[in-house]
Amino acid sequence: MPYLPRRRTLAYLAASGLGLWASPLFAASPAERLTAAQLRADLAFVRRKLGDTHPDLAFSADVAAVDGAFARLDAAARDGLTRDEAWLFFSTMNPMFADAHVLIGYPDWRGDVRSHLAAGGTLFPYEVELNEGDLVISALAGGAATPLQGARIVAIDGEPAAATTAALLQRMHGDTPSFRASLLARRWWFYFWKLRGAPANYRLALARDGRTWTVNAPGSAALPSLLRTEASFDEQFRLAFRADGSAVLTAASFAPAEPARVLELFRTAFATLREQGTRELTIDVSANGGGDDAIWLEGLMPYLATQPYRTGSTYRKKVLETNAAKGEQAGQVVRGEIATWHPPQPDNPLRFKGRVRVAIGPATYSSAVLFANVMRDFGFATLVGTGNAVRRAQSGGVRDFILPQSGLTISVPRFVLDPPGGGGGLLTVS
């Protein structure tokens, strides 16, 4: 999509303290323009759904600061924004929620990307990493190798990469700055599109090994690496052996398209480990953003648990509908203790008896955090990898609501679950 002039919008966002970029050009998807009254109506809707659904926003957010942000956005609302511009306007609240389950986003961002590419559009030509704030090329879009790997992107079409990165980080959702930086890097092609557009060509100023130079690269029609991996069963779930005889079982999601196939792969993997006499196993959930607890409860724990365990300790939930049988009223916050304990299976012939590690990373989230909590808190494994990106306590039961005017979404959880070992803090390596 070509750049479109948006000088008024940029000046307005910058003056409102809601924009951090200097480019006089701005691109947004074609959309009906919203009035200030419509923006305010969506803000009121977001606020209402947060209040109706979340059991305790103070679990992650400074509620007074969130209230102040609502007031500032309400006062700053102006006529003429497209849906993408509305997202840029609203999403400055995302980091304030400090929970990856609470965000203002798009109802189907993956589908938007696929539709854009199918229609002949292109996206940013490289996969990137964020290394201590630097935007660094890791591969070609889609994951193929490039001789530019490791080069730092200094500027994009004349704009400092640092300014673009900062503008987007102001709009990312997630528990911590490190989680949000990881999220932005993995989805750079999407968020750059929403901020700067999708031009046919990019002029990149690069630096590496003391040298600086400029390259011109066409936009890429390749499916981004994240979406390609999500569509590949073999890339998400696999067992591999290292030269020293130890094994790595990768589970990159607990939301598979084919749950039965995953459960069978896990069973086969543990059968192979037994046949090979493997004594050390790493279960890699470093790229696992969560999903259905049943995948790991049924697919992994029968081979790993050595004592009874539960998925958490205490919880608090918002009652969404009155349930007279339970004595619960809509709007009530109920607190309690997790009463369900899962038994081990000591007689399971495939139970793994060697040393177990669980590899975590900045992308480990939701149900994958619950799995990591259980493995560590009950002594089934040690945690390795990169920690301090997400909380051990997790929100859940997420509801998505369509903002009636812009068509964006607000995601809100209805419960918060504390880890089995109690306490709070961030998920760290052992």
* Residue 416: inside a domain: no
pLDDT at 32: 84
* Mean pLDDT split into 10-residue runs, the chain, 430 residues: 27 32 33 92 98 97 98 98 98 98 98 98 98 96 98 98 98 98 98 97 98 98 98 98 98 97 98 98 98 98 98 97 92 96 97 98 98 98 98 98 98 98 92
Same-domain status, 24 and 144: yes
- Tell me the HSE value of 287 on the side-chain side, using a 13 A CA sphere: 14
Same-domain status, 65 and 157: yes
* Residue 361: inside a domain: yes
Q: What region does 203 belong to: left with phi over 0, alpha with psi -120 to 50, or beta?
A: beta
* Residue 418: inside a domain: no
Tell me which residue of 202, 165, 206 sits closest to 187, measured CA to CA: 165
Assign residue 18 the CATH number of its domain: 2.30.42.10
Same-domain status, 175 and 306: no
Please give the residue range of the domain that contains residue 180.
4-227
CA distance 69 to 77: 12
CA distance 237 to 217: 33
* Residue 414: inside a domain: no
Domain-ending residue, one of 227, 255, 290: 227
Tell me which residue of 392, 391, 389 sits closest to 374, measured CA to CA: 392
Domain count, the chain: 2
Place of tokens 């935007």: 135
pLDDT at 302: 98
* Residue 426: inside a domain: no
Tell me what percent of the chain is helix, strand and coil, each rounded to the nearest 5: 35, 25, 40
Q: Which residues pair with 239 in a beta bridge?
A: 249
Same-domain status, 144 and 249: no
Assign residue 302 the CATH number of its domain: 3.90.226.10
The answer to whether 173 touches 413, Cβ cutoff 8 Å, is no
* Residue 424: inside a domain: no
